[in-house]
Structure 1
Amino acid sequence: MDYQKKTSTERGNDTMPAALLHQKLMLPTSIKRLGELAYNLWFSWNAEASALFQRLDSRKWEDSGHNPVQLLLTSADALQQASVDPGFLEAYEQVISQFDAYMHESTWFQTEHAKQSHIQFAYFSAEFGFHESLPIYSGGLGVLAGDHCKSASDLGVPLTGVGLLYKKGYFTQKINSQGDQQAEQFQYDFSMLPILPAYQENNQELIVHVELPTGPVALKVWRIRVGRNSVYLLDADIESNTPADRQLTAQLYGGNQDMRISQEMILGMGGVKALRALGISPSVYHMNEGHAAFLTLERLRELLDLGLPFQAAVETIRSATVFTTHTPVAAGHDAFPIGMAEYYLGPLLSKLPAYRQDLLGLGNDPKTGLFNMTHLALHTSSLRNGVSKLHGQVSRDMFKGFYGDIQSREVPIDSITNGVHLDTWLAPEWKALFDRFLPGGWRNRIADARIWESLELIPDASIWQVHQELKEKLIGFARQNLEQQRRRIGESEERAAEVRSFLSKDALTIGFARRFATYKRANLIFNDLERLKKLLHDPERPVQILFAGKAHPADHPGQEMIREIYRVSQLPEFQGKIVMLENYDMNMARYLVQGVDVWLNNPRRPLEASGTSGQKAAMNGVINFSVLDGWWEEGYNGDNGWAIGSTESQDWAVQEQENTADIYRILESSIIPLYFSSQEQPQHHPRHPWINLMKRSIQSLAPIYNTHRMVAEYTERSYLPTADRAHHFVENGYDLAIKVADYKNFIRREWHHVKIAAVHDPSADSSAAVSSISAVEKLSTLKEVTADVFFGPIWPPDTLVELIYFEESGSDWNEVVVWMQATGDLKNQTQSFKASIPSHLKHGPNFSIRVRPISSSFAHSFELPLSVSTLQE
């Protein structure tokens, strides 16, 4: 389906909301398209659109959490005044023109992939962080999903999102006088949010059903407009459901494991049913983390109902599925007791009794005996990736056993490094400055490094002015947050007013804001309070630190970190210099990543899969100061920020000592001196050292760590190849899927016959002669090694015979794999193979032979994890 053309169902979805909007909002004719803007999250990354809503009533705009729908529904008088205000009407027409141009202009996908205009991609995620006015996210995973969808719209990638609509969102965080996090629930009124029901062709609200053990659960489908694309969210809070079932989509990451598995069934199975009801037939399904993996079981049911053999159905599902894993932390991989999985999947298993064990086996983790959602995702996807290069490596190590006896580097898990949506996170002040100096159309070419070379043209004074303006905005926001907090917990008027003197625009300002999990070590900088006090109290070079973040309500160690930070912030020697802000959300995040000088990140390596807060900070000229983990390991170049180093010990205590020492050392010897020496430069100095660093940071990081680059990578490396392969698997009555399934079944059944019968190493008996050869001669002198392999009933061309050895490279040893060539004829089911390798290598201690199955229809070389090796003998 062309992404600008719609099925009849989707056309129906367009007409009903238009009438509904007119009836609901009753806008004056001259500004009637404000409703269209309010119900398209395009406003959230267009500064002019947001400013237009703010212009109606700035107080209500702030009080509503920047929610344009609530603003329009409660501002009748302001709307009437605006409808005859020439200034407002002029701004309105300009924004509408921008919106229309955006919606109809040619896009990257249209230009680069015109022949794929019929393709649709589905993106399933348990949370989406689009904007503070739609609080259905908890942190990085959701914000990444939101940024992914926004860039897909910008690039014209035909992507449809699927998720859950949480009436209570995540939670509102309040911090009491003891520093305790208090998680408060708030039930949102969906009629006041920028969402609308999805409709069927008969203009009835769309309802789908998911079978749970207690009976069918009805799910209302809601639609969010995200620029050119849509995201559909499922809601169980409807009258036809039982009171217990109505709570299933009440809260993000709330409740026990029963709640979690129910939510994940609703997301995966209900999401597929919603797409079917909408007439959307994706070519590719992208599972953003294992939460969505039940979608594969619903698609399997569809194919099995058609009569497709089980393994052929699995191959069909796998051919069209992409999976992104997001964490190396075991707790981030949902796993359920097998009995619980059997119970909740009972309605599905009862319909497919012949495949009961096969279906459960797709999620089985043999090490734990649990039904693991990541294992289900790995079993049912063809392409898998981590979210940074380091995380890809860590994931290959984690799931090495999943793929048999192979080296970690051979494990078929790739990596696509996360990015952030520039238009969402770059301050409007920076955009205005870049509009003056960067080439025209730069916002559509942000992944082009050449665009950012023009930063050199921007005067240092202009850069510093923008940065200082944003810093002052942050300080004002932080003071307001602290004052409201003190008033709420009953502090005296004097204590509440005291915060108005906290923080200084002249101090070096460090920011730390993210989810409070223990491995992120928010309190690491507190390991030496005396040393920290000296840093913060230097009258010539003052320093201040802002903290923000939520801990999961069940994460008591994470909450203890919040208490510690709050306690330290209340000590007389740290008051006003260390602050803990409450209720971290996307709005606060923008102030922080745009307004601090340095962004601190110090997780235990390698537990930070990627991290994106530092990327948001970097594009705003904020300098990263981080452990070499996640994205920073590849982003840091030695000249664009600072790296907190260590010996990379896996002993957490040792790593903590080394990281702590490095934090203080770099602050004292590098960061603080550079920041303040910059301010001490005479006015005529040609270069501001700190501003130079800001420019280098933006130039090296902005063109890479953005979601335009990321989504383009997903499109070209994952989505399009997967769509092409999936098409071949289903054409001609699933012919290829059946053949691949039959081939794999045959290989599994007959593989035990394969044996390496003999290895002929001509120099194995001449060790004395070989040992006298110099190192240079050893590398340049080659010998021919042969191997005889018995295949039994397996056809030799369906295998690959490899010779493997290791080559020294500095302090490391790199694996070298040489493909052996068949020689002579097949005799008695035995084939000979040959390869040339350095003559000093001996079979056994220095090299081995490996045989494994291959097929041109495989998505990757190790799709069938079987092998025979001389190392196994």
Structure 2
Amino acid sequence: MSPAATPPSAAATERANWTEVTAEALYQKLTALASNLWWSWRPEVTQLFRDLDPVRWRQLDHNPISLLREMTPDQVAERANELAMYTRINQAHRRLKEYLTDTTGTWAAREAGVLGARPVAYFSAEFGMHESVPIYSGGLGVLSGDHIKSASGLGLPLVAIGLFYDQGYFKQHLDEEGMQGEEYLNTKVENLPMQPALGKNGKPITVSIDTRGGALKAKVWLMSVGRVRLYLMDCDVEGNSPEDRELTSRLYGGDRRTRIRQELVLGIGGVKALGALGINPGVYHLNEGHSAFAPLEVIHQRMEGDGLSFDDALREVAQNTVFTTHTPVPAGHDRFDADMIEEHLGPLREKLGISHQQLMGLGRVEPQNEGETFCMTVIGLKASRRANAVSALHGVVSRRMWAHLWPWRVEEEIPIGHITNGVHVPSWLAQPMRTLFDKYLPLDWPQRMGDSRVWEGMYNVDPGELWETHNALKLRLLDFTRRRLSRQCRRRGEDEAVVDATRSALDPSALTIGFARRFATYKRADLFLRRMDEIADLVNNENRPVQFIFSGKAHPADEPGKSFIKRIANLRHDPRFAGRVVFVEDYDINVARHMVQGVDVWLNNPRRPLEASGTSGMKAVLNGGLNCSILDGWWAEAYNGNNGFAIGRGTQHVNDDITDERDAQDLFHVLRDEVIPRFYDRDADGLPRAWIDSMVESIATLSGRFSAHRMVTDYVRHCYLPAAGGVSSEMSMR
């Protein structure tokens, strides 16, 4: 072929394309992509931002808006030209537009049409969508984020209501003694993908809530999460007292007065915001008790608009309300005394035409018991006709916990069902595993990820290919962990020799166990230390070593939880554990993503039955990690004998100390006698065949059942459609 006939190179084609597009237009397309969190579960779009500047991308906590604000349109165009990115940017922008506008072929369009005119309003105190949007603390927030992401993917008409915390949850740092320190940083609104929410008149919305101490105001922000609109209430507005301007600054900060005022803004303010937006929900979903004041404002609106009596309005609003409880621990349910309730709800109570005693009765198990406080979970249950726990076992616990609300019913007939939690597969699945799934699963698996039958294709996977993919992810986790450990040591000003040691911490060939979650005491992060000498022997076994990666935060007021962190973090000073048991500071979605994608084993050992569900282990499943867990929460209904490991027999002693000692012993034995042999027994090709079989079984049997797509479709069928006047459903919600 002559030179004149040589096809143009990709780079030459790219340069030609620049004649058709300006740098400003390209910049605007990237800005549009960054302004909708759809990008966060689309790896090809995430890679676009990373390619613009890989170093700054990492330093800016993977925030594309912050990255673009540091670059001019010409700089973006120059970088895009260097890497031949124009076509990729154009395709991503077109896919986003198609995703947002083409809703006729979605699952919800076929199955939940009645919700189109009157959508679901989903209330939650926190939303965890991505590490660059720090308005979450842990499991509840990440669950809420996964819920609305899957609602978006399914095309479900749903709007979400939360609070905007401009300082979020705290940044965690450990000192040389291993004690947790908390640092709160202001988040710049201009670096977040949100804008003022506009009312029907086209002006920014501010709502006002009357209290005995004066009006409490909140402005409303709009954040786009795929097809879902998330509205965030923010009390930092003129007209509020200095104290109230700080009200929504921190997540789970402050005293009980702060908590009730936050919940007033979330529930009552959230309903008022929906009215100002012109949104008339057909369903109100209260995700935990934090938003349980919302039905009171809806009742008021029905009384005012339709002339209903309080009792009739309560009956009708309860029919449209769904309540989800997540907390099997009594201390986890917010309670307020009578004076605090009257101070904050007195003006609304008068509009409702009910007495203080009647209002307090809505939040009491025993309405006439003046010694009982007002419980947010109780009013949530009384003001809804559909209530659910978040796993089968949690349903049993919740029915027992709240049986006194229905003294005329036997425990099995208490109207609290269960819908087991799930995780948003695209958000937690590593790209190499996604590539593997594309090869062995049906072509349309991303649209049918909640269907367990889709995952049966994993039984055909090549064992070596699966093992190599997992090991590549494991190496990425170890590299990430070493960088974090090195940074931690440098921040503390430790010797260079200590910093150097972090670079060789952790062995790529060793069995790697991960434990990461909130360091509440019932989660027993230090359970393995009850068999410290025996665990040390496992860690230091020359032929079959074990290593642990820990991460997690304790609430600032939880001193026992902080002591757990200190004890584990300080194992780095013990020669038996140095470089083999490590603690990664400042647990967030980014740390979680690396850990669930790279560990061999995900460890979970709560004190049964106090784990409502748990979702982190579900994320490990997607990436080939095996669960080793107490039979509590989701694992009690997931474990089949070959898809992971069980600690104990699914029972607990009435004495917690005996339970803890017995579980510690069971943990050691399952590690020594089951986990380690299965991991290290290799065939002639060096493959742990039995281990890989368990990986396949885990992915095939659990990925669909515990996906957020399955969870949201369950909510639609068993809660949303009946609440909106659609088809009926059994209360079991199984």
Would you call these one fold, judging by a TM-score over 0.5?
Answer: yes
In the TM superposition, what whole-angstrom CA distance separates every residue of 1:134-159 from its partner, at most 9, and x where no partner exists?
Answer: 00001000000000000000001111
Larger relative contact order (CA 8 Å, sep ≥ 6)? 2
Q: Pick from 596, 599, 607 the counterpart of residue 599 of structure 2.
A: 596
3-state SS of 2:458 partner: helix
Query: Which stretch of the first structure deviates more once superposed, 83-92 or 637-646?
Result: 83-92
Counterpart amino acid of 1:488? R
CA contact (8 A) 2:310 2:352 kept: no
Q: Pick from 573, 576, 579 the counterpart of residue 576 of structure 1.
A: 579
Offset of 1:858 from its aligned partner?
13
In the TM superposition, what whole-angstrom CA distance separates every residue of 1:319-342 from its partner, at most 9, and x where no partner exists?
Answer: 110000001101111001122111
CA contact (8 A) 1:28 1:83 kept: no
Counterpart amino acid of 2:28? K
Q: Pick from 658, 664, 682 the counterpart of residue 654 of structure 1.
A: 658
CA contact (8 A) 1:427 1:620 kept: yes
Q: Which residue does 2:434 correspond to in 1?
A: 431
Q: Is residue 2:45 matched to residue 1:44?
A: no
Q: Which residue does 1:295 correspond to in 2?
A: 294
Q: Is residue 2:135 matched to residue 1:136?
A: yes
Q: Is residue 2:719 matched to residue 1:718?
A: yes
- Counterpart Cα distance in 2 of 1:273 and 1:27: 42
Q: Is residue 2:58 matched to residue 1:54?
A: no
- Counterpart Cα distance in 2 of 1:417 and 1:509: 28
Q: Normalized per residue, which structure has more strand?
A: 1
- Counterpart Cα distance in 2 of 1:229 and 1:495: 47
| Residues 283-362 of structure 1: pairs in structure 2 closer than 5 A | 283-306=282-305, 307-352=307-352, 354-362=354-362
Q: Which residue does 2:90 correspond to in 1?
A: 93
- Note closer, same or farther for the CA distance 1:271–1:329 as it changes in structure 2 (3 Å cut): same
CA contact (8 A) 1:336 1:370 kept: yes
Q: Pick from 625, 639, 642 the counterpart of residue 639 of structure 1.
A: 642
3-state SS of 1:87 partner: coil
CA contact (8 A) 1:511 1:599 kept: yes
Offset of 1:350 from its aligned partner?
4.0
- Note closer, same or farther for the CA distance 1:860–1:442 as it changes in structure 2 (3 Å cut): closer
Q: Which residue does 2:13 correspond to in 1?
A: none
- Counterpart Cα distance in 2 of 1:409 and 1:462: 47
CA contact (8 A) 1:546 1:579 kept: yes
- Counterpart Cα distance in 2 of 1:48 and 1:440: 18
- Counterpart Cα distance in 2 of 1:485 and 1:265: 39
Counterpart amino acid of 1:391? H
- Note closer, same or farther for the CA distance 1:379–1:109 as it changes in structure 2 (3 Å cut): same
Q: Which residue does 2:496 correspond to in 1?
A: 493
- Counterpart Cα distance in 2 of 1:210 and 1:150: 30
Query: Which stretch of the first structure deviates more once superposed, 46-55 or 302-311?
Result: 302-311
Counterpart amino acid of 1:287? L
C-alpha RMSD of matched pairs (Å): 1.9
CA contact (8 A) 1:598 1:624 kept: yes
3-state SS of 1:528 partner: helix
Counterpart amino acid of 2:432? E
- Counterpart Cα distance in 2 of 1:276 and 1:147: 26
In the TM superposition, what whole-angstrom CA distance separates every residue of 1:218-242 from its partner, at most 9, and x where no partner exists?
Answer: 2111011011111100001123322
3-state SS of 1:545 partner: strand
- Counterpart Cα distance in 1 of 2:472 and 2:359: 58
Counterpart amino acid of 2:119? Q
Q: Which residue does 1:121 correspond to in 2?
A: 120
Counterpart amino acid of 1:132? E
Q: Is residue 2:29 matched to residue 1:33?
A: yes
| Residues 455-494 of structure 1: pairs in structure 2 closer than 5 A | 455-494=458-497
Q: Which residue does 1:691 correspond to in 2?
A: 692
- Counterpart Cα distance in 2 of 1:254 and 1:598: 33
- Note closer, same or farther for the CA distance 1:419–1:27 as it changes in structure 2 (3 Å cut): farther
Counterpart amino acid of 1:653? D
Q: Which residue does 1:179 correspond to in 2?
A: 178
- Counterpart Cα distance in 2 of 1:354 and 1:326: 30
- Counterpart Cα distance in 1 of 2:174 and 2:136: 20
- Counterpart Cα distance in 1 of 2:272 and 2:125: 16
| Residues 57-68 of structure 1: pairs in structure 2 closer than 5 A | 57-68=53-64
Offset of 1:195 from its aligned partner?
1.3
- Counterpart Cα distance in 2 of 1:546 and 1:608: 21
- Counterpart Cα distance in 2 of 1:320 and 1:562: 43
Counterpart amino acid of 1:673? P
Counterpart amino acid of 2:151? A
Q: Which residue does 1:189 correspond to in 2?
A: 188
CA contact (8 A) 2:29 2:89 kept: no
- Counterpart Cα distance in 2 of 1:171 and 1:260: 17
Offset of 1:682 from its aligned partner?
0.2
Query: Which stretch of the first structure deviates more once superposed, 426-435 or 201-210?
Result: 201-210
In the TM superposition, what whole-angstrom CA distance separates every residue of 1:744-774 from its partner, at most 9, and x where no partner exists?
Answer: xxxxxxxxxxxxxxxxxxxxxxxxxxxxxxx
Counterpart amino acid of 2:296? L
Offset of 1:347 from its aligned partner?
2.3
- Note closer, same or farther for the CA distance 1:354–1:663 as it changes in structure 2 (3 Å cut): closer
3-state SS of 2:89 partner: helix
Q: Is residue 2:522 matched to residue 1:516?
A: no
Query: Which stretch of the first structure deviates more once superposed, 266-275 or 291-300?
Result: 291-300
Counterpart amino acid of 2:294? L
| Residues 518-667 of structure 1: pairs in structure 2 closer than 5 A | 518-646=521-649, 647-667=651-671
3-state SS of 1:345 partner: helix
CA contact (8 A) 2:349 2:355 kept: yes
- Counterpart Cα distance in 2 of 1:378 and 1:456: 43
Offset of 1:520 from its aligned partner?
0.2
TM-score, L = length of structure 1: 0.79
- Note closer, same or farther for the CA distance 1:454–1:276 as it changes in structure 2 (3 Å cut): same
Counterpart amino acid of 1:697? S
CA contact (8 A) 1:122 1:284 kept: yes
Offset of 1:608 from its aligned partner?
0.2
Q: Pick from 383, 390, 393 the counterpart of residue 390 of structure 1.
A: 393
Counterpart amino acid of 1:577? R
Q: Pick from 396, 405, 410 the counterpart of residue 408 of structure 2.
A: 405
Query: Which stretch of the first structure deviates more once superposed, 363-372 or 565-574?
Result: 363-372
TM-score, L = length of structure 2: 0.93
Offset of 1:212 from its aligned partner?
2.8
Q: Which residue does 1:8 correspond to in 2?
A: none
CA contact (8 A) 1:82 1:89 kept: no
CA contact (8 A) 2:115 2:724 kept: no
CA contact (8 A) 2:551 2:584 kept: yes
- Counterpart Cα distance in 2 of 1:437 and 1:266: 48
Q: Which residue does 2:7 correspond to in 1?
A: none
- Counterpart Cα distance in 2 of 1:406 and 1:469: 54
Counterpart amino acid of 1:59? V
- Counterpart Cα distance in 2 of 1:27 and 1:294: 49
- Counterpart Cα distance in 1 of 2:554 and 2:689: 39
Counterpart amino acid of 2:86? L
CA contact (8 A) 1:28 1:79 kept: no
The higher radius of gyration belongs to 1
Q: Pick from 58, 70, 73 the counterpart of residue 69 of structure 2.
A: 73
CA contact (8 A) 1:31 1:83 kept: no
- Counterpart Cα distance in 2 of 1:542 and 1:289: 42
Counterpart amino acid of 1:229? V
Q: Is residue 2:678 matched to residue 1:682?
A: no
- Counterpart Cα distance in 2 of 1:115 and 1:312: 24
Query: Which stretch of the first structure deviates more once superposed, 627-636 or 561-570?
Result: 561-570
% identical aligned pairs: 45
Query: Which stretch of the first structure deviates more once superposed, 184-193 or 648-657?
Result: 648-657
Offset of 1:116 from its aligned partner?
4.6
Offset of 1:378 from its aligned partner?
0.9
Offset of 1:478 from its aligned partner?
0.7
3-state SS of 1:318 partner: helix
Could you tell me which runs of 5 or more consecutive residues in structure 1 were left unpaired when the two chains were aligned: 1-25, 727-856, 862-873
- Note closer, same or farther for the CA distance 1:263–1:567 as it changes in structure 2 (3 Å cut): same
